Amino acid sequence: MVFVNEGARWFARRNIRNAPMLHQPASRPVSGSRRATRLFGAPILALALFGVALLAAPSSAQAKSFQSFIEELWPAAHKRGVSRATFNAAFHGVTPDAKVMQSTRRQAEFTETTGAYLARRVSDARIENGRAKAKEWERALDAVERQIGVDRYVVLSIWGNETNFGGYLGGHNVIQALATLTYNGYRADFFRKELINALVILQQGHVKPQDMAGSWAGAMGHTQFMPSSFNAYAIDFTGDGRRDIWTTIPDALGSTAFYLKKRGWRTGETWGYEVTVPRGFDLRQAKKMGKATLAQWSRHGIRRANGQGFPRPSDKAWLHLPAGANGPAFLMLPNFDVIKRYNNSNNYALAVGHLADRIRGGDDFVHPFPVEQKALSEGQRTELQTLLASRGYPVGEIDGVIGMQTREAIHAYQASAGLPSDGHPSEDLIKHLQKRR
């Protein structure tokens, strides 16, 4: 059974067997330890976290149980066209990996400000590296941009943000990692499906089991695709018969562009603009406007920070204040939301967009992020939710996570208290709530 993916259909519709083989410098070897910050993208999906007991070295009883678990996977794998030989080769010598379960507990607490996050992800070194990669892979990027219609610099930026341009693809055997997570009940339904998808990839011969390296959560290759996203969106851009996002850079770049295009990328448009908001602008008005045309925002006095005009006044955008009313402001266009489908994070999408612009030769933001701003700890976020709830502002579950409902509560409280209604959680806001007890 051959799994027909979106990429194959895309080439067929255009009467293109595949793009011509492109020059590929030797890839750097995989080494080091995978970053333990979050799961990158919808190829790499955002995961809920909860406590999991750490694995010790498996006892004989545990090993037997694990082998039984593996055997229970066979019917589902066989149904997807996986042969017994491929199945056995994939699981040969595989045992639960304690380091994988440790990684589920080591996820970084969300205590980094947007400014600090961007400084780390859009560093001078990464910008220079990105410009070098743009020259090195110019032919491939030309072909990707021409045939798929996605901005080359956004594709490069995702590569840089995911694996630092291939500096480290992940130090885990993907089959072992996904089996460990499923066996231990960590989002078992999700990871079981990813495990079966990984077996399908092996069956199709795109990579050997020992070379299927990835993150502890199964994200693979230069741009960190989850197996299900690989099967749906990865393409064989070089025409060698394999979709190889591990060692064939054009395949990785083409697959990333194809994913973005299928998720709604609008060719010829950018991701957003840094803007200036006039003094006295009621931020509640921005909330009411939601997605409005750039011309409508202009009528409210909002201008591009660099003094240039909006090239497409009819495009719709929404106002984003990642550091609150005292930080830089942005109007976000539809392509910003497409980037978020790679990783559902405003900070990630902003980093991808900004790094893309810097690699292209653009300037840094006109308005810097406030250096004195501190991110709230989990305890402070929980306190903020508790204070808001005690004053009758619904925040949903008090869990230390600033989600949509908590931001709505912040907006409402700020408006009632005569504060700038930016929806931004801060120490000053907590102090204000404490004083009004």
pLDDT per residue as tens digits for the range 336-355: 999 999 999 999 999 999 99
Stretch(es) of the chain classified as CATH 1.10.8.350: 12-108+159-262
Q: What CATH class is the domain 12-108+159-262?
A: mainly alpha
Question: What are the CA-CA distances from residue 210 to residues 92, 156, 412 (Å)?
Answer: 10, 27, 54
The 3-state DSSP class for residue 138 equals helix
- What is the C-alpha separation between 78 and 310, in angstroms, rounded? 54
- What is the C-alpha separation between 94 and 175, in angstroms, rounded? 8
Q: How many CB atoms lie within 10 A of CB 219?
A: 29
Q: pLDDT 10s digit of each residue in the chain, 437 long?
A: 323 345 544 444 443 333 333 333 333 333 333 333 334 344 443 343 333 333 444 555 566 699 999 999 999 999 999 999 999 999 999 999 999 999 888 654 457 899 999 999 999 999 999 999 999 999 999 999 999 999 999 999 999 999 999 999 999 999 999 999 999 999 999 999 999 999 999 999 999 999 999 999 999 999 999 999 999 999 999 999 999 999 999 999 999 999 999 999 999 999 999 999 999 898 988 888 999 999 999 999 999 999 999 999 999 999 999 999 999 999 999 999 999 999 999 999 999 999 999 999 999 999 999 988 899 999 999 999 999 999 999 999 999 999 899 999 999 999 999 999 999 999 999 999 999 76
Q: Which residues contact 277 (CB under 8 A, 6 or more apart)?
A: 301, 302, 319, 329
Task: Give me the helix-helix angle, 152-163 and 124-136, nearest 10°.
Answer: 130
Distance of CA 201 to the CA centre of its chain: 22
Q: Which of 276, 311, 316 is nearest to 294 (CA)?
A: 316
DSSP H or E run through 75: helix 74-79
